[in-house]
């Protein structure tokens, strides 16, 4: 109950909503409401160069339909029936209402604009204080940013917030509510979890199908474990990775070891498009699933792909990992999810093991789960091909045909598992960080930027066409390990996104260094959309910061927007457990742990904005990125998001269940 740190679910007497009571210091959220407006076109806005925005009513696709009745099936964007849904099946998210208290006692309320919302949709915001009647807070319908500052809330009583969409002048059914607990403080949502060891990664997906995100965490114990929690902190299940996870060497570890070095071997996504997310994990002999059943095999080397029920942790399907390199021992894995055919999700596995004390075998595979069986779609072996890899994977549509490709730092595979190109023939080798995004909005398609580690040619960093692999520019120096690099719009005076490593901040489209003194560049850790303008903020070592190009400074002297520990959050490995657009408007959340490892502390902005964009979690490239770990890096959308941007088109998606 509220104030105790526990979470309780109860059914309302007169509605079909399931109410959640509980978060001791943060708040709680109802499940998704039954009726929402019908989808139409992209309802993002045009943003001017000065950061101002203007709504647009130009429909890019689809035809408006009458809003569904209050008895319609639960759907955040329930549309009139279509014979064949277009595009890829995407999570059917709710409004994701969230509320946090600002330093002056005011409350910022924020919610999602969905990707298929009608272009002219508006919103009304309602508050209930201490369980009283809901009253509307805004005088006129809100048609700009999907957030509101509540200047009349009290700090001594719980306040519940919900929104009602307004379509063609008519209010729609209310969203699920979010309750801000009395005395809650700071720009953070805290979710109670079971006490235990530290965790390295957090994954998110809609495990229970209520339209809001739930969480899966690892526990860095011996043996290792996975735990799942609903969005309010209700414990769902725990899985032991067994005796073969006790060897946690980051190069040659156990056959069921997860989440060491640049490896993970776990991801979460709705793989069969039934509205509920599954958990995919690489397993071996001796693991115990969330329902208590044990997986056994005669030896400890063979490995398997397992698909688990997201709500129970029970095994739904397994398939053997191809044994091409079994003689060299078990293979570590990085997992992710993409839409290789443009319609249905596939699990993608990047797997390696070591040949003696020398080089490494590399195998990449794709898998399809149909609800009952998991089958191998294709297998690619690097044998005989010079294809440099790095420490993380990108799954993104590099050529704009609607189908995702599988990209590494030095090569790209087509969605059918064939080699698209390798950058080796242009002198690109191994590196620790790289990105694909719409870096230069003035040229068609997407671009890539990467850094190098001890390249014998002296290559430090490079910029290339993501569809073809053609290098556009490169910077050379000594034979060094560059170590870190990043892209983001941190200088609004320069076109497109900037790129920087240790050699300074560059205008990427112009290949022009923007700061003479490279030491006055920000540390290239993570970008973060936080303060509401169209530029990128920075997350580094527990701090949200903003680089000022007019007064450039190094990372020890940047203007600071937030210190994580003051909101109760700690990144024990100097990296967040997860960054993603988890709730609220289009800006991002940072998931951390508290000191005791018995809470998820989710940093979320307390700053208002008029910028209106659909939730990043329904952008295909961004949502794929949320399934990937490895060496954690910032996610990107598949359109240009930065100063001077134009309205992004509605993504080619449909919501599951339509």
Rg (CA), the chain: 24
pLDDT at 516 over 70: yes
pLDDT at 196 over 60: yes
What pLDDT sits at residue 84?
A: 64
Q: Which residues of 394-424 are buried (b: 16+ CB within 10 A; e: fewer)?
A: bbbbbbeebbbbbbbbbbbbbbebeebbbbe
- State the chain's mean pLDDT as an integer: 90
What pLDDT sits at residue 29?
A: 67
Residue written as tokens 């609903």? 230
> Can you give 270-327 as a three-state secondary structure string?
CCCCCCCCEEEEEEECCCECCCCCECCCCCCCCEEEEEEECCCCCEEEEEECCCCCHH
Higher pLDDT, 467 or 27: 467
Q: What is the dihedral of CA 458, 462, 465, 469, to 10 degrees?
A: 30
pLDDT in tens, 339-361: 999 999 999 999 999 999 999 99
pLDDT band at 573 (very low <50, low <70, confident <90, very high): confident
Question: Are 104 and 606 contacting, i.e. CB atoms less than 8 angstroms apart?
Answer: no
Long-range contacts of 481-484 (CB under 8 A, 24+ apart): 481/432, 481/453, 481/454, 482/431, 482/432, 482/451, 482/452, 482/453, 483/432, 483/433, 483/451, 483/453, 484/432, 484/433, 484/451, 484/523, 484/524, 484/525
What pLDDT sits at residue 436?
A: 99
Q: In what order do the strands lie in the sheet with 411-413?
A: 394-396, 405-407, 411-413, 419-422
What pLDDT sits at residue 554?
A: 85
Residues 6+ apart with CB under 8 A from 578: 201, 202, 203, 204, 590, 591, 626
Angstrom distance (rounded) from CA 417 to CA 412: 9
CA-to-CA dists, residue 638 to 210, 368, 480, 493, angstroms: 27, 24, 31, 22
What pLDDT sits at residue 80?
A: 35
pLDDT band at 85 (very low <50, low <70, confident <90, very high): confident
What pLDDT sits at residue 388?
A: 98
pLDDT in tens, 377-416: 999 999 999 999 999 999 999 999 999 999 999 999 999 9
> Token pair of 494, please?
């320069």
What pLDDT sits at residue 189?
A: 98
What pLDDT sits at residue 555?
A: 82
What pLDDT sits at residue 163?
A: 99
Provide CATH 2.60.40.10 ranges for the chain.
35-65+87-191+563-658
| Residue 150 preceded by cis peptide, ω within 30 | no
Which helix (H) or strand (E) segment is 352 a member of?
A: strand 346-354
What pLDDT sits at residue 556?
A: 87
Q: Would you state the CATH architecture of domain 35-65+87-191+563-658? A: Sandwich (2.60)
* Lowest model confidence (mean pLDDT) among 285-289, 509-513, 556-560, 575-579: 556-560
What pLDDT sits at residue 32?
A: 53
* Lowest model confidence (mean pLDDT) among 200-209, 419-428, 448-457, 510-519: 510-519
pLDDT in tens, 617-626: 999 999 999 9
What pLDDT sits at residue 4?
A: 31
pLDDT in tens, 283-338: 999 999 999 999 999 999 999 999 999 999 999 999 999 999 999 999 999 999 99
Beta-bridge partners for 129: 159
Residues 6+ apart with CB under 8 A from 257: 224, 241, 244, 245, 246, 247, 248, 263, 265, 332
pLDDT in tens, 8-44: 222 232 222 222 233 334 567 665 544 455 544 444 4
pLDDT in tens, 621-655: 999 999 999 999 999 999 999 999 999 999 999 99
């Amino acid at each position: 109950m509220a104030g105790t740190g526990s979470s309780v679910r109860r059914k309302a007497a007169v509605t079909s909503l399931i109410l959640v009571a509980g978060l001791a210091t943060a708040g709680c959220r109802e499940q998704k409401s039954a009726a929402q407006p019908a989808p139409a076109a992209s309802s993002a806005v045009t943003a001017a160069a000065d950061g101002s925005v203007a709504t647009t009513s130009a429909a890019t696709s689809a035809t408006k339909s009458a809003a569904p009745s209050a008895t319609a099936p639960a759907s955040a964007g329930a549309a009139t029936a279509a014979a064949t849904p277009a595009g890829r099946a995407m999570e059917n998210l709710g409004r994701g209402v969230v509320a946090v208290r600002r330093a002056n006692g005011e409350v910022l309320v924020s919610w999602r604009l969905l990707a298929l919302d009608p272009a002219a949709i508006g919103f009304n915001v309602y508050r209930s204080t201490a369980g009283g009647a809901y009253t509307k807070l805004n005088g006129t319908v809100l048609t700009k940013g999907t957030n509101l500052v509540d200047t009349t809330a009290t700090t001594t009583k719980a306040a519940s917030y919900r929104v009602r969409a307004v379509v063609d002048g008519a209010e729609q059914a209310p969203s699920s509510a979010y309750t801000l607990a009395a005395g809650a403080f700071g720009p953070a949502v805290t979710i109670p979890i079971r006490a235990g060891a530290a965790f390295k990664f957090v994954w998110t997906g809609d495990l229970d199908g209520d339209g809001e995100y739930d969480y899966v965490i690892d526990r860095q114990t011996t043996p290792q474990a996975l735990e799942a929690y609903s969005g309010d902190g209700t414990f769902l299940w725990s899985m032991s990775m067994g005796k073969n996870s006790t060897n946690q060497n980051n190069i040659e570890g156990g056959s069921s070891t997860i989440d060491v070095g640049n490896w993970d071997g776990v991801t979460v996504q709705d793989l069969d498009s039934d509205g509920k997310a599954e958990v995919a994990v690489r397993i071996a002999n001796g693991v115990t699933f969330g329902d208590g059943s044990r997986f056994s095999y005669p030896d400890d080397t063979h490995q398997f792909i397992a698909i688990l029920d997201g709500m129970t942790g029970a095994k739904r399907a397994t398939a053997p990992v191809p044994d091409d390199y079994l003689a060299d021992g078990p293979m570590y894995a990085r997992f992710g999810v993409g839409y290789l055919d443009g319609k249905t999700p596939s699990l993608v596995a990047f797997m390696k093991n070591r040949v003696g004390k020398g080089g490494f075998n590399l195998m990449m595979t794709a898998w399809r789960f149909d609800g009952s069986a998991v089958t191998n779609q294709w297998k690619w072996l690097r044998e005989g091909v010079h294809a440099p890899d790095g420490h993380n994977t990108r799954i993104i549509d590099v050529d704009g045909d609607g189908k995702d490709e599988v990209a590494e730092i030095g090569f790209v595979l087509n969605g059918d598992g064939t080699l698209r190109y390798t950058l080796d023939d242009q002198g690109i080798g191994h590196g620790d960080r790289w990105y694909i995004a719409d870096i230069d909005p003035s040229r068609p398609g997407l671009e890539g930027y990467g850094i190098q580690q001890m390249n014998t040619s002296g290559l430090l960093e490079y910029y290339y066409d993501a569809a073809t692999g053609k290098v556009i520019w490169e910077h050379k120096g000594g034979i060094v390990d560059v170590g870190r690099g990043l892209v983001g719009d941190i200088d609004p005076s320069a076109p497109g996104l900037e790129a920087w490593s240790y050699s300074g901040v560059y205008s990427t489209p112009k290949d022009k260094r923007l700061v003479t003194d490279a030491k006055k560049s920000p540390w290239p850790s993570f970008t973060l959309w936080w303060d509401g303008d169209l530029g990128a903020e920075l997350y580094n070592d527990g701090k949200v910061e903003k680089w000022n190009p007019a007064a450039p400074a190094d990372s020890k002297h940047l203007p600071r927007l937030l210190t994580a520990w003051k909101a109760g959050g700690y990144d024990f490995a100097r990296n967040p457990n997860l960054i993603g657009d988890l709730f609220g408007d289009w800006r991002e959340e940072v998931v951390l742990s508290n000191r005791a490892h018995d809470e998820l502390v989710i940093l979320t902005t307390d700053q208002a904005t008029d910028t209106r964009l659909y939730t990043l979690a329904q952008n295909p490239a961004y949502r794929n990125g949320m399934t990937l770990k490895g060496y954690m890096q910032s996610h990107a959308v598949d359109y240009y998001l930065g100063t001077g941007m134009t309205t992004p088109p509605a993504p080619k998606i449909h919501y599951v269940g339509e």
